[in-house]
Structure 1
């Protein structure tokens, strides 16, 4: 058998191999592009530090308040209520405009009355028409209707005023939510600072006891200390470790509460207080007339007054103007025609089963109720402001007392530790001093946090924002 050389077949084989390699290259590129597209599409977006609560940036108090006002569920719920109130106002304003309708329909009938009407509308009346049996007719009707209310006893205007006042109530409720939310953020933030300082105090207590144990063991080996003194310090060390565990748990719990108020499920919490001051100023004026809860009730009174006027409008007639245009086309008769109508109508309920009088009585009772609620709220706010003022005064006094307590306890602890190292004092006296020092530090941390919280609470009670340079945004 002899092989035959075919250059054409070789060229075809080479061309097919190159075409196959080129197709594989194109498919590989398409696969790579598709993988990159999926990676970009499903990879988590990288936002700014403000949008990413897990960033390493520290939480300042002002940043935390601003973040909560923008992202907390309570704030977003109040904003949606305000948006709903705006929609109600828009609906109320619709009564100022006419109602325009376009109607269309098709019908067939052999009813004598309707068929005769269709024949007249389509301009196909004949003298020999049998009125009792005009036959089957059809009609394609296209029309336009315009209606406008001229008068209804002031009910529409009262409804608009009630809607406007209701929108104002929603805006003031949003302010109240912001004020309360900002105060909760301050309280949670200060709780973190307080528990962190308490944790530091507990750690210092553990380190101090450990140093004392080293001294006691050295003296015990030297024969100048009894073994019971070492045991007493070890028991104190165990108690200090227990208190440290509790303090660490309180610190972690305070962080979780802080994140929850911000509307976050999890994240890293690193707080920062510039110069050890929360930056919240004590209000110079304790006038609470701008408290949003009180202003909201004043607006609610206006809502009730408008609803009362709206109910009384039921005693008056309503006057409406109307106009219309119709085009009729009959396919059975082959005719068509158009017509128009315009007029004014008056409606007056002579008897409605005392429905209107009952509505008037209901709205009057609601108006009197809201007025009394406003008076009750004013009394409660007055008491709240006085309680907040006294709480701040008490916190300031306690802060000064605990500061001196810490200074005295630190000096005493230094002296007692030195005498203990010299072997002059027993472990029980050292334990008492260490406990008093730790207690003084804890009390001072609590007093400092309560001073900040009391200042924030006083600002909230008089209706002020926590930071005047960052007023809460009541717009959507």
Structure 2
């Protein structure tokens, strides 16, 4: 009995060990499979990230941006309007068919039953209508539709230039955020090195708790900036992806280094802007269209001539009588609505008011462009001067920090002087990076103000 009990205990003891080994092996397989899935997802996500240069981003935006696509659709709408207006000058053909039965018993009563009261009619006819004279209405409508094409072209230019500006700004914002993140990361790494140095000095007995605590606080204060700048990178990338209308994540490859260009004079810039701004050109075309619309409205109560005709076959059954054969008609018709209750006069007044409103908008936009031109030139000058002023500051700040750190190691500098040098270097790098970004954006905005962004036109 004892031996059986021992054997039973052994079996009972061995079973959990085997089960546990099996569970460990299954757990290992599960963890390995999960890790493989995670790694595969990370690799797939990394493969979906598309790195773009500025030229590539602008090329994608030109074909996929929603505003540009909408402007292209407006061009197609204008094309349809032109076809619609041109049709008024072309002959109109219609096919008319008829199968009808009518009965009028009053005729039988009047004629004593001699006239049949039931009548069946069947006919088919091709009709022609051609406008001959419309008091200039048709011609004005066609000319207005033709000018609509140029309006659509200018609207497409507006969308393309605005999109190019927005894409360029988003591109430079990503580069700026990356630079700011790198600066924040370097600042954190540097403060972590200071903490390590303070801890070593404390272990060696040449530093106090205050030194290590101050270094630790500096490290923790530097972390939020790293988090903020990393989030700025994500936001800027999402903004660029929105402008490009793409589903995959995007990244950029480029630099904020800029070639300093001479700033054009105000008069030269304004002359180019008034010549090439698509908004001004669109208003000019709309003003010409409004002139044609006044002519169209003025022709509403004027006489017009039309040629109308028809040719076909007709069958008529009246009582016991039957007849069928060819039928045709032709004539010149005059229409003269000499009094329409002052409706035409009201339309003319509205059209003339629209024309004057467009002229006012043109003058207002011209004044606004003058102000935009001054602001754009001043912004470029300001950004360029800041870049020049800060170009040598970073090198000086780096030398100052190196000297402060070396002096602190030798005991001739205090931590406050090192922190001041670090702060100066951080500010110098950040200011220079932002100044370069601002200069590039100012150049892009100046080209947009002149109306030549992406069109390869110079000030001259």
Give the TM-score taking structure 1 as reference length: 0.80
- The 8 Å contact of residues 292 and 463 in structure 1, kept in 2 or not, is answered as yes
Give the 3 Å change call, closer, same or farther, for CA 283–57 of structure 1 in structure 2.
farther
Higher relative contact order (CA 8 A, sep 6+): 1
**Which of 93, 99, 112 is equivalent to 1:100?**
93
**Partner secondary structure for residue 413 of structure 2:** coil
For residue 214 of structure 1, what is the aligned residue in structure 2? 196
Give 1:403 deviation, angstroms: 1.8
For residue 138 of structure 1, what is the aligned residue in structure 2? 120
- Structure 1, residues 97-138: CA drift from partner, whole Å, max 9, x if none? 1111111111122338999xxxxxxxxxxxxx9896234231
Q: Which range moved further: 377-386 or 179-188?
A: 377-386
1:271 to 2:252 alignment:
yes
Give 1:351 deviation, angstroms: 1.3
**Partner secondary structure for residue 314 of structure 1:** coil
- Report which of the two has the higher share of helix: 2
Count residues with an aligned counterpart: 403
Give 1:269 deviation, angstroms: 2.4
**Partner secondary structure for residue 58 of structure 1:** strand
Alpha-carbon distance in structure 2 between the residues aligned to 1:413 and 1:355? 83
For residue 328 of structure 1, what is the aligned residue in structure 2? 314
**Partner secondary structure for residue 335 of structure 1:** strand
**Partner secondary structure for residue 144 of structure 1:** strand
Alpha-carbon distance in structure 1 between the residues aligned to 2:375 and 2:282? 22
- Trace 1:145-294 onto structure 2 (pairs within 5 A): 145-265=127-247, 267-273=248-254, 277=257, 286=269, 287-288=272-273, 289-294=275-280
- Trace 1:428-447 onto structure 2 (pairs within 5 A): 428-447=416-435
Give 1:324 deviation, angstroms: 1.1
For residue 358 of structure 2, what is the aligned residue in structure 1? 370
**Which of 269, 272, 281 is equivalent to 1:295?**
281
- Quote the RMSD (CA, aligned, Å): 2.5
Give 1:65 deviation, angstroms: 0.8
- The 8 Å contact of residues 232 and 428 in structure 1, kept in 2 or not, is answered as no
Alpha-carbon distance in structure 1 between the residues aligned to 2:149 and 2:401? 62
Give the 3 Å change call, closer, same or farther, for CA 208–114 of structure 1 in structure 2.
farther
- The 8 Å contact of residues 308 and 364 in structure 1, kept in 2 or not, is answered as yes
Give 1:183 deviation, angstroms: 0.2
**Partner secondary structure for residue 324 of structure 1:** strand
Alpha-carbon distance in structure 2 between the residues aligned to 1:326 and 1:71? 53
1:465 to 2:459 alignment:
no
Alpha-carbon distance in structure 2 between the residues aligned to 1:54 and 1:296? 44
- The 8 Å contact of residues 132 and 306 in structure 2, kept in 1 or not, is answered as yes
For residue 110 of structure 1, what is the aligned residue in structure 2? 103
- The 8 Å contact of residues 82 and 146 in structure 2, kept in 1 or not, is answered as yes
For residue 474 of structure 1, what is the aligned residue in structure 2? none
| Structure 1 gap ranges (5+) | 1-51, 116-128, 470-476
For residue 16 of structure 1, what is the aligned residue in structure 2? none
- Trace 1:30-41 onto structure 2 (pairs within 5 A): none
- The 8 Å contact of residues 136 and 299 in structure 2, kept in 1 or not, is answered as yes
Alpha-carbon distance in structure 1 between the residues aligned to 2:172 and 2:366? 29
For residue 68 of structure 2, what is the aligned residue in structure 1? 75
Give the TM-score taking structure 2 as reference length: 0.82
- Structure 1, residues 117-176: CA drift from partner, whole Å, max 9, x if none? xxxxxxxxxxxx989623423121011110111111111111111112222212201100
Give 1:367 deviation, angstroms: 0.4
**Partner secondary structure for residue 264 of structure 1:** coil
Alpha-carbon distance in structure 1 between the residues aligned to 2:278 and 2:87? 29
Give the 3 Å change call, closer, same or farther, for CA 53–422 of structure 1 in structure 2.
closer
- The 8 Å contact of residues 112 and 132 in structure 1, kept in 2 or not, is answered as no
1:308 to 2:294 alignment:
yes
- Trace 1:79-90 onto structure 2 (pairs within 5 A): 79-90=72-83
Alpha-carbon distance in structure 1 between the residues aligned to 2:261 and 2:128? 61
